Structure 1
Amino acid sequence: MSSVLAFPYAPQQAWEMVFAKVKRAVVFMDDACAESLHWTGGAVKLFEAGAVDVKAFSSFEAGATNQPKAVFVVSTLLKGKTADVIKDIISLSAFQYSIVITAVAHSVHLFASNISVEAEGYPLFEQFEEKLCEWMGNMNYTAEVMHASLLFCPLSSHLLSTPTLGRLFPLIPEDVNSINRTRPDKKKFTSLSDVDFGSLPVELQISIRVLVSSLSAMLDILSIKEECFAIGHTSRIIASELANSLHCKNRRKVAQNKASLLFIDRTLDLTGPVGHHGDSLAEKILSTLPSLPGHNSDIMVDMMELTCLRCDKETRNIIAPGCLAQPNDPAASVLWESMLNLKHKEGVMEVRRHLVETASKENLPIKMTLGRVTPEQLSSYILLFKNNFRALEDHCGILQLSLATVQTIKHPDFCKSDSFLAFERLLLQVLGDSGLHIVLRQMLPMIKTKKERRNEDLNGSDILVLLVYIYSLTNEILESSQLDEAEWEVKKALVNVIHDEISSCPLLQRITGNAFSTLFCHLCIVLKSYRRFCCNSVV
């Protein structure tokens, strides 16, 4: 199998190690590994492999008295909170056989424990096995600890994500000051280009090693001899770590396939995550519908339309939400690929085509119409399946993706994205013709409190997104009294808005720490940081 064909199966192969160990076991799994499994086949794969139960990785969970075997699947180092949770679960259970599978390689455990030379075998894993037996209450019980590369989520045949490393963010110029605090005067760095791996904070070093070891494991599966390239300071460090790894050097000697790896700092395109120029249907859905709890790359689809229950708030909470991931449904996977790759209008037409073909196969009385696709039209096609339970079961994947499309188009935020795009284009034009202070003056009337706003107006979170967009596109910010005055007015208006919304907006709570007393200082720091950061980092 060529590396291109094997690419989507690399994460599945890593999960085979887990499936081989779960027979007659209760499985405890953390959110990051659960999300990876979600895109690789879901909990059904565990039950098909013989698991008797699947539970959250929490100190409040435990096995039943008739469940002697446990499998713990975690994405973190086997120390600290992770070790404490495993101990708590085992202490509350009657396990005689415990298996721990971690997504963090043994080499990273050695690095995190300041052990530079690895002894024969896996000493840290063996030590943790002894702890497991101790916690189970009998040193003669059986314990196993192993590593499997479980960090990748195969979102499509050509797209992987690593949700557990979502906080691994590139260094910015301001980070040089914090790094220099622990260095002697004669060895202080003058710029990011001077920073090397050994001078990074320990937590960041561990995160980079986790990423490098996971990439290396995937390249092993694909038998790839890689050539690394980097754009950005942090990417340069990561690429160097991968290229200089002894294991990677050995793999490149025997690998049968070749590939180029390009590492790019996310700070080189800050406008991407906050802009509204993306036009694929999948992007519209992901940015509009609420996230699936515990997940970073999937959303909740309201399935009430296909039930015979009353549609009130209490009933909705007992109906499991639908989602985008349908790895066990070939037809739905084909539609998902189209939604990812096609433009919005073409994607919606593809959804209609799949619904029509599916309804025709089931001999449902569908009335095909030409022209513009409307959410009402798609809903009428979906409702044909409502009382046909066999058809519902056979085509649940297609129906979930179709409902996600309908609910996105009907969502109030869907129309707001067009307004965002219009604002962005207008402000970008003003920025090119005049200066940042004029743009801020134009934005000032948009910053309104709840009492002043209409439905189509922007809220506090929206304004912050626009500010990030504008500051990210400003190549050079010249200090002036006009700019200081404009920023001061924006800060005062934002304080009023955020004070009005902070109790109901999770984003604002994360930014401000839910403390209004420090809010004004936060805003001052944010705007000043954007000035320096965007001038030095954005290309």
Structure 2
Amino acid sequence: MMSGTPKEFARACWNEVYNRIIGAVVFLDDYSAECLHWDGGLFNLLTGGAVAVKSLSPFECAKKEHKKAVFITQSTSTQLQTIREIIRNSDFVHCILISCMSLDVVYLELNEGKDVTDIVSAGKAFTAATKQLERMLMEWMGKKQCSTEVLHVPIFTICPTNSVFLTPPYQKIYPSFNGNLIPESNSIDLYTLSNEERSQVRRLASGLNSMFESMNLKEDVFYMGMYSSLVAGVLENSPVCLTRRKNCTNPVSLLIIDRTLDLCGVTSHSMECVLDKVMYVLPRFPGHSNDVAVDMSPLCEANVTSHLDDIQLSPGCLYHAEDDACSQTFDYMINKSQKEVMFDLYNKLCKIDVQKSPGSKTLLKVTPLSVEKIVMASKGNYDIIGKHIGVLQQALGVVQTLKSPKRNQLELVMGLERQVHQSLATSRDSTSVLHQISQLIKTRKERNLPLENLLALITHVYSLTGTEVSFNKQHEDTLAEMLSVAIFEDHKTLLTNLDPGMATPEGCADMANKIMKKLKDISQMRKILNKYTSVLKASESGRGHEYCGVLQQLLEDYVGTNKNPLDIFHRKRLLQSGFSILTSKKSRSTKHPLDNPTVIVFVVGGVTAEECKQLHRAMITSGVDNALIIGSTKFVNPVEAMRDALAI
């Protein structure tokens, strides 16, 4: 079995940091700050002895009297330049650089374009990077009497539950090649990627390797998808990974999967999990990818008119690492029904209720209003609020989600999705789905439907149909025209990074055509598979069809009668440093993921809470003894998943 859990791994990493911060000014990058939030937050650093905590920014520096600095960083070239500016504008005599990225990867990036093959193959890159970074720190401090320390602490995971982990530093990694979802060739080599893409693959693989080393894991690597084969290749062949596997003893199966093989689940508005609903409705917590910002103004006496933009009141959030009751509620938001979550919150709130509302046992139904009533009873009572701030934030987050006008949009798009499923199930090639969606785009403002939600619906449709449906060319042309007009009309809200001067009718038409090309790519993503080409299955009731995702089908096959799914490939160790997509039958192995006591499924490109729940339930109800851990780059909602896939 495993030596520890992902949550214990993350805690051990932060303990390494806490041992070094006494008397120091701590500078964190945004990704490390997000990881810190899930381990307890800012006060862990301040109570641990840090004299100040600052953002890793070239505009920051320390007071003259502060002589020690600790930098917690991903060690990218840009971040190293930022550290140089901070050091030059401060008066440090002791600097500690904590690299969240393994130093063998940092060494490759520091020496990009140089021939360092001998050092890397000899396993000396880690030591060489340490010395190189120490020299850089000494030079920046420019003092004769100063000391430096460079070490690697793999801070890159957060654990919403004991069996789910996410990787904030890799949240932007997505299975694409030079901006395309499908590479030009079916055989792809690590060195055909751009420098940035190659660095992303190495960084993700290196992070997983560091985690496995800490947990004493020796993995069998399986993969599904072209991008995942590259990550699997690095894990299988890099000198650091080879050395680690010789020393680690606990067997584990690692299955890496491209999100792009199945975008239906993440672009669907049909949400059962409370957490998915909250992640859809509420804005992200500032600088974070996996927690939300909760409006705390109902509890406060401050006169706030434009929350969440009003800086006089900080937003709340959902996850509270130091509160076991809140951790339990967060788990419920993933694994329990909405009704169970509401009763859980009500019971916990009743213990702090100053008005003594009726207990949940006397209620037939807990409503958002009944939860809100107890929360509001604490308004202005800062002693009560301070003692129970976690559950109050969670309760407000759920109430604001269920009362939000965006819930109506969600219900409307859910209805549209059901119509699409029915239409596709009955008509297939003669489907008029795209014609219907074109009309929805045309009338979106009367229906109060944002264009981004309709784009998510279109992405859902193209991934759902795959190669099974050939859409009418005239319908596709009409859709492209409608999109072009809609993008031009809504570009200010849809394209947040676009220069307003670039939003011309011609530019929007070009963007619409690029979107259509990506949609066609999405429909072809499962073409490389043999069995899991379809995700539209006849429902058990015998009425119509329903979505059954690739991950769900795969796991059901694993634990069912089909012990050898056709589309999973075991990563054989290659002698070369270039990695091919091994899709021939010869590459299949008799090895099976369930041969090992623990299975880790890692999805590159994001998951939903609903997917995590379904996969764990499938494993539990199957009766097999294997433990399942799900990892991914981030939690996503339908709009975010669409933006990732269409690159807008």
Calculate the TM-score normalised by the size of structure 1. Answer: 0.88
Question: What's 1:40 paired with?
Answer: 39
- Alignment of 1:62 with 2:61, yes or no, is yes
Deviation at 1:131, TM superposition (A): 2.1
- Alignment of 1:485 with 2:474, yes or no, is yes
- Alignment of 1:150 with 2:155, yes or no, is yes
Q: 1:420 aligns with which of 387, 406, 413?
A: 413
Question: What's 2:329 paired with?
Answer: 335
**Taking structure 1 as reference, are residues 121 and 486 closer, same or farther at Cα in structure 2, changes over 3 Å only?**
closer
Task: Specify the SS of the correspondent of 2:5.
Answer: helix
Task: Specify the SS of the correspondent of 1:458.
Answer: coil
Distance 2:502 2:343 in 1: 43
Distance 1:177 1:258 in 2: 33
Deviation at 1:5, TM superposition (A): 5.0
Deviation at 1:320, TM superposition (A): 1.2
Task: Specify the SS of the correspondent of 1:100.
Answer: strand
Distance 2:364 2:501 in 1: 48
**Taking structure 1 as reference, are residues 20 and 417 closer, same or farther at Cα in structure 2, changes over 3 Å only?**
same
Deviation at 1:22, TM superposition (A): 1.3
Count residues with an aligned counterpart: 516
Distance 2:128 2:30 in 1: 27
Deviation at 1:235, TM superposition (A): 1.6
| Kept after mapping to 2: 8 A contact 1:446/1:457 | no
Task: Specify the SS of the correspondent of 1:313.
Answer: coil
Distance 1:335 1:530 in 2: 38
Task: Specify the SS of the correspondent of 1:453.
Answer: helix
Deviation at 1:155, TM superposition (A): 1.9
Q: 2:370 aligns with which of 374, 377, 390?
A: 377
Question: What's 2:439 paired with?
Answer: 445
Question: What's 1:159 paired with?
Answer: 164
| Kept after mapping to 1: 8 A contact 2:205/2:234 | yes
Distance 2:374 2:435 in 1: 48
Deviation at 1:302, TM superposition (A): 0.8
Cα deviation code 1:364-418 (max 9, x no counterpart): 5223351222211111111233344333222211111111000100111122212
| Kept after mapping to 1: 8 A contact 2:441/2:454 | yes
- Alignment of 1:133 with 2:138, yes or no, is yes
Q: 1:534 aligns with which of 523, 536, 556?
A: 523
Could you tell me which amino acid in structure 2 is paired with residue 135 of structure 1?
W
Of Structure 1 and Structure 2, the greater helix share is in 1
| Kept after mapping to 1: 8 A contact 2:103/2:126 | no
**Taking structure 1 as reference, are residues 4 and 410 closer, same or farther at Cα in structure 2, changes over 3 Å only?**
farther
Deviation at 1:146, TM superposition (A): 1.7
| Kept after mapping to 2: 8 A contact 1:130/1:139 | no
Task: Specify the SS of the correspondent of 1:502.
Answer: helix
Question: What's 2:280 paired with?
Answer: 287
Deviation at 1:514, TM superposition (A): 5.4
Deviation at 1:142, TM superposition (A): 1.6
Deviation at 1:171, TM superposition (A): 4.0
Question: What's 2:582 paired with?
Answer: none
Deviation at 1:295, TM superposition (A): 0.7
Could you tell me which amino acid in structure 2 is paired with residue 349 of structure 1?
F
**Taking structure 1 as reference, are residues 284 and 478 closer, same or farther at Cα in structure 2, changes over 3 Å only?**
closer
Could you tell me which amino acid in structure 2 is paired with residue 375 of structure 1?
P
Question: What's 2:609 paired with?
Answer: none
Question: What's 1:184 paired with?
Answer: none
- Alignment of 1:346 with 2:340, yes or no, is yes
- Alignment of 1:495 with 2:484, yes or no, is yes
Distance 1:419 1:384 in 2: 34
| Kept after mapping to 2: 8 A contact 1:359/1:366 | no
**Taking structure 1 as reference, are residues 515 and 21 closer, same or farther at Cα in structure 2, changes over 3 Å only?**
farther
Deviation at 1:479, TM superposition (A): 6.5
Deviation at 1:206, TM superposition (A): 1.7
Question: What's 2:211 paired with?
Answer: 218
Task: Specify the SS of the correspondent of 1:101.
Answer: strand
Identify the range of structure 1 (365-374 vs 10-19) with the bigger mean alpha-carbon deviation.
Answer: 365-374
Cα deviation code 1:121-153 (max 9, x no counterpart): 622332222222222221432222221101112
Deviation at 1:19, TM superposition (A): 1.4
Could you tell me which amino acid in structure 2 is paired with residue 530 of structure 1?
L
Deviation at 1:214, TM superposition (A): 1.3
Deviation at 1:36, TM superposition (A): 0.7
**Taking structure 1 as reference, are residues 41 and 478 closer, same or farther at Cα in structure 2, changes over 3 Å only?**
closer
| Mapping for residues 356-395 of structure 1, pairs under 5 Å | 356=350, 358-359=351-352, 365-368=356-359, 369-395=362-388
Cα deviation code 1:7-64 (max 9, x no counterpart): 3110111122221221111111111111111111211111122111111111111111
Question: What's 2:547 paired with?
Answer: none
| Kept after mapping to 1: 8 A contact 2:160/2:331 | no
Identify the range of structure 1 (485-494 vs 415-424) with the bigger mean alpha-carbon deviation.
Answer: 485-494
- Alignment of 1:519 with 2:513, yes or no, is no
| Mapping for residues 100-139 of structure 1, pairs under 5 Å | 100-112=97-109, 113=111, 114=114, 115-116=116-117, 117-118=119-120, 119=124, 122-139=127-144
Distance 1:478 1:331 in 2: 48
- Alignment of 1:196 with 2:185, yes or no, is no
Could you tell me which amino acid in structure 1 is paired with residue 6 of structure 2?
F
**Taking structure 1 as reference, are residues 510 and 147 closer, same or farther at Cα in structure 2, changes over 3 Å only?**
farther
Deviation at 1:254, TM superposition (A): 4.3
Distance 1:347 1:510 in 2: 43
Deviation at 1:309, TM superposition (A): 2.3
Distance 1:478 1:133 in 2: 62
Task: Specify the SS of the correspondent of 2:448.
Answer: coil
| Kept after mapping to 2: 8 A contact 1:335/1:354 | no
Could you tell me which amino acid in structure 2 is paired with residue 72 of structure 1?
F
Cα deviation code 1:76-115 (max 9, x no counterpart): 43x2x22221121122212222221111111112333252
Structure 1 gaps of 5+ residues are 180-188
Question: What's 1:322 paired with?
Answer: 316
| Kept after mapping to 2: 8 A contact 1:436/1:477 | no
Distance 2:243 2:260 in 1: 33
Structure 2 gaps of 5+ residues are 528-532, 534-648
Distance 1:25 1:517 in 2: 54
**Taking structure 1 as reference, are residues 419 and 254 closer, same or farther at Cα in structure 2, changes over 3 Å only?**
same
CA-based RMSD? 2.7
Question: What's 1:205 paired with?
Answer: 198
Cα deviation code 1:456-509 (max 9, x no counterpart): 4312111111111111112337777xx232223222322332222222345684
The higher-RCO structure (CA 8 Å, 6+ apart) is: 2
Could you tell me which amino acid in structure 2 is paired with residue 461 of structure 1?
E
**Taking structure 1 as reference, are residues 391 and 411 closer, same or farther at Cα in structure 2, changes over 3 Å only?**
same
| Kept after mapping to 1: 8 A contact 2:177/2:193 | no
| Mapping for residues 254-333 of structure 1, pairs under 5 Å | 254-313=247-306, 316-333=310-327
